[in-house]
Structure 1
């Protein structure tokens, strides 16, 4: 009988240790984990910390700020892209940081080969009836440089731009509405479309044509598109949503 009690007590003690070890491992697994690829790797490069994401980032084109109470401004900047007359280069527009910094290195003359980046300018002069210009003194965006802002939508995991809509799917949060814009159809290279805020701002002191990257409204054309619900020559609205 005494031997049985000792064996039972040992079993209980072992189960308690296993339970304690499992609990400890669960707590440890819940903490950020640090992983090193190789003992010989540089620890500044090889170590990766896994933490829960804070939110999702998106670019608000045409504004220096972010919308919504749960949005943080990561940085603001000036939109840029390849020259409209270039046959190659950058197809996606860039949001360049206002406080630009250059790494130490060898600087080359601008005539050397490579991809060149220019400021992005609004080129449509007739859109005053579509936009809300209450935030700019000139009440026009024509031939002004385009501002941009990179925003962080907190506690969300994905973002989506929907062309042809001003509302978001059920359960999604609307960040801003605008119009789809891209380079001109006669430009020498294609550009990816962006959703430009319908309450736009401009970069101060940039009025007047400075040849570079151009930005125009995108319009629908039928009958290649169905003439119902689409209509020829109509500007395409857009909305940026997060979830």
Structure 2
């Protein structure tokens, strides 16, 4: 039975009762039973329309914080580890960066040749690094964290901005990074503006590489963009 019809029936019953000419009119048993039934139905129907509070409080979203081994304030840590992915010059296989946990459960050794899970390194030469970053992070491995933000229903990475739009909460902001344009394609990743190395080891071992990006005017309209500028990014949730 649809809710508008039930509401109409209940209103009709109440109108008939209150408009009766006798002041001492008593409801019959059947009248009272119908009213009680309608009240119960309306109560239970409206309750079903609202999810229990426990379900709301347990909802949330996950996101990866690239370049950091911690989560933003207010977010819970799912796990932390290091960035992995396919070798920068491999033609086939996956193109996305992976956040590999620091406590893996390793499989059995295999001899076949299809290695696609390498580590990730920053590529930050003096002529190619975001403003404010140290060249000392060049060739260092990249940390990452998978974070859980409670009481959120959506998360989005916005390229070209460092602040979120109205109604959205900033989880972190930084620089948009990916593979070099001369290498094989890689996903774009928003790397934290306060990125850090995984550890103090220093070796040019390659793997899934992170290069800073810059804009190029032409098909990209300038303004509002500017030519050859760092590309900012922000991760937002609501």
**3-state SS of paired residue (1:192):** coil
1:52-131 alignment, distance < 5 Å: 52=56, 53-68=58-73, 70-102=74-106, 107-111=109-113, 113=114, 116-126=116-126, 130-131=131-132
Residues 1:30 and 1:167: Cα distance change in structure 2 (over 3 Å): closer
Maintained 8 Å contact 1:125/1:141: no
Are 1:131 and 1:199, in contact at CA under 8 Å, matched by a contact in 2?
no
TM-score when scaled to structure 1? 0.75
The separation in 1 between residues aligned to 2:84 and 2:46, in whole angstroms, is 48
- Tell me the C-alpha RMSD between the 2 structures: 2.8
1:84-142 residue CA offsets vs partner (Å, 9 max, x unmatched): 11001111111111111146xx642152x4x6111110012225661356xxxxx7211
Task: Tell me whether 1:12 sits opposite 2:32 in the alignment.
Answer: yes
Asked if the contact 2:139–2:206 (Cα under 8 Å) also holds between the matched residues in 1, the reply is no
Deviations 1:170-193 (Å, cap 9, x if unpaired)?
Answer: 121122121110011111x21110
| Aligned: 1:216 with 2:191 | no
Output the CA distance in 1 between the equivalents of 2:31 and 2:130. 81
Cα gap change, 1:142/1:30 in structure 2, threshold over 3 Å: closer, same or farther?
A: same
**Higher CA-based Rg:** 2
SS at match of 1:207: coil
Moved more, 231-240 or 6-15: 6-15
The 8 Å contact of residues 84 and 118 in structure 2, kept in 1 or not, is answered as yes
Comparing 10-19 with 197-206, greater Cα deviation is found at: 10-19
Judging changes above 3 Å, is the alpha-carbon distance between structure 1 residues 61 and 18 closer, same or farther for their aligned structure 2 residues?
same
Q: 1 CA distance for matches of 2:104 and 2:227?
A: 42
Q: Tell me the equivalent position of 1:201.
A: 196
1:146 Cα deviation from its structure 2 partner: 0.5
How far apart are the structure 1 equivalents of 2:37 and 2:102?
Answer: 58
Distance in 2 (CA, whole Å) between partners of 1:13 and 1:224 is: 72
The 8 Å contact of residues 128 and 140 in structure 1, kept in 2 or not, is answered as no
Q: What TM-score does the superposition give when structure 2 sets the normalisation length?
A: 0.76
Where does structure 1 lack aligned partners over 5 or more consecutive residues? 33-49, 134-138
Of 217-226 and 163-172, more deviation after overlay is shown by 217-226
